[in-house]
Structure 1
Amino acid sequence: MIVSLNNPVLVLNRHWQPVHICTARRAFSLVCLGHALVVHLDGESNFSTHDLQSWIRSSRNDPSLEAVRTVNATFGVPQIIVLSLFDRLPKKEIKFTRQNVFERDNHVCQYCQKRFDARELNLDHVIPRDKGGKSSWENIVTSCVRCNTRKANKLPTEANMFPMREPKAPVWRPFMCLAERSSRRRAYPSWRFFLDLEPAMVEMSG
């Protein structure tokens, strides 16, 4: 039960735009207070919404959902909720961290354009620090160990190595918030309708 209540739940504003990721415990609280409805994927592309009582009735025998058991009832843990009144999009600045640079670049070395596990990646200053380069979104890219060693402290023109994309500060996405908090990036297939997720991030049901 504790694990289930800590599961991530995607939060949508009333226009069905993703704005946050909270725990199942927080999601149940919002639904109980009438501030949100549970959103459930029925079939491949149809969604239904439920208040608390409707959700308890409809989810109690759904084998695709993890269950919460109380003294009086057993019901499913929601994966998505939609807020009843909130209609804005949050404005957030993403913290400049090693993990978030990897997330921005999709764990792809910006020089050889190959994907690596995080433990095989480094951060590279496009303009080396000893040549005036700063540690910022605009001057740091993801690189594999081999490319990082090869480029060393050379300028891109000196090494003939150029990033595949111009580095810049990323736009805040709800999933990056989850990735920053947890090294276990977990998502659900139902989230694909609202978030642009990498296949490896999606936890398949069944």
Structure 2
Amino acid sequence: MINSAVLVLNRYYQPVHVTSVKRAFSLLYQGVAKAIDQQYRLYEFADWAALSATNDCITTINRTIRVPRVLVLSAYDHLPRGRVRFSRLNIYARDADTCQYCGKNLPRSELNLDHVMPRTQGGKTTWENVVCSCVPCNLKKGGRTPEQADMRLLKKPVRPRWTPLFRGASRKVTYQEWLPFLHLADASYWNVELLDE
């Protein structure tokens, strides 16, 4: 429980990080952040600790405290600018677990990576030259370019512009409390006040 995830927002309620419950309590206790409940009320540590505990709670020597699932930082107003790490996981995420030659969406265990311009022909291991492919397509292509193998790429590979936090969160939301902050368009549609004309 102490290492489970808590969404951290900047002071404009934009997601900037996912942290552990342990770190979240530290931020809350220090007054650097406030907890947000499902009705969007803000709580400082003492007020949050006074709330009745739910299923998700931490027990200390003298009290049981509800685990916050969303924190808002009091002063931080930036967005993270980290570059997306060039990794197998992020290439699969960029290509949506889809072979870039035949278009089949497959489990990751049935996918591998392919150099569009083969390394034997001077191809580099970069975002712009590596794609997700299924084993049969990779074997068919071999050490050739797609043109040489008479194959076509579904789309040109590019460096992604998303950050891993937001990409991962949009694909699988860990907690229901995160939804309004991760899917702002969906939340605004469902939360807008309807007026009788």
TM-score class, shorter: 0.7 to 0.9
- Matched letter for residue 19 of structure 2: C
The runs of at least 4 aligned residues of structure 1 exceeding 6 Å deviation read: 176-179
* Most deviating of 145-154 and 20-29: 145-154
Select 1:51's aligned residue among 44, 49, 54.
44
Query: How many residues in Structure 1 have an aligned counterpart in Structure 2?
Result: 181
Cα displacement (A) at 1:76: 1.9
Is the CA contact 2:9–2:70 (under 8 Å) kept in the aligned structure 1?
yes
- Matched letter for residue 189 of structure 1: Q
Instruction: State how far apart, in whole Å, the 1-side matches of 2:164 and 2:121 are.
Output: 36
Is the CA contact 1:38–1:78 (under 8 Å) kept in the aligned structure 2?
yes
1:200 aligned residue? none
2:194 aligned residue? none
CA deviation string 1:13-36 (max 9, x = no partner): 101111111111111101111110
Cα displacement (A) at 1:174: 4.7
1:17 aligned residue? 14
- Matched letter for residue 41 of structure 2: S
Task: Rate the CA distance shift 1:192–1:167 in 2: closer, same or farther, 3 A.
Answer: farther
Instruction: State how far apart, in whole Å, the 2-side matches of 1:79 and 1:113 are.
Output: 37
Is the CA contact 2:84–2:164 (under 8 Å) kept in the aligned structure 1?
no
Task: Rate the CA distance shift 1:48–1:160 in 2: closer, same or farther, 3 A.
Answer: farther
- Matched letter for residue 23 of structure 1: S
Say which SS state the counterpart of residue 22 (structure 2) adopts.
helix
Q: Which has the larger radius of gyration?
A: 2
Say which SS state the counterpart of residue 5 (structure 1) adopts.
coil
Instruction: State how far apart, in whole Å, the 1-side matches of 2:72 and 2:86 are.
Output: 29
Select 2:180's aligned residue among 190, 193, 197.
193
The alignment status of 1:136 with 2:136, answered yes or no, reads no
Cα displacement (A) at 1:134: 0.8
Task: Rate the CA distance shift 1:49–1:162 in 2: closer, same or farther, 3 A.
Answer: farther
Report the TM-score, using the length of structure 1 for normalisation. Answer: 0.78
Percent of paired sites with the same residue? 41
2:108 aligned residue? 118
1:37 aligned residue? 34
1:165 aligned residue? 155
* Most deviating of 159-168 and 133-142: 159-168
Task: Rate the CA distance shift 1:58–1:160 in 2: closer, same or farther, 3 A.
Answer: farther
Report the TM-score, using the length of structure 2 for normalisation. Answer: 0.81
Instruction: State how far apart, in whole Å, the 1-side matches of 2:18 and 2:65 are.
Output: 21
Is the CA contact 2:92–2:98 (under 8 Å) kept in the aligned structure 1?
yes
1:101 aligned residue? 91
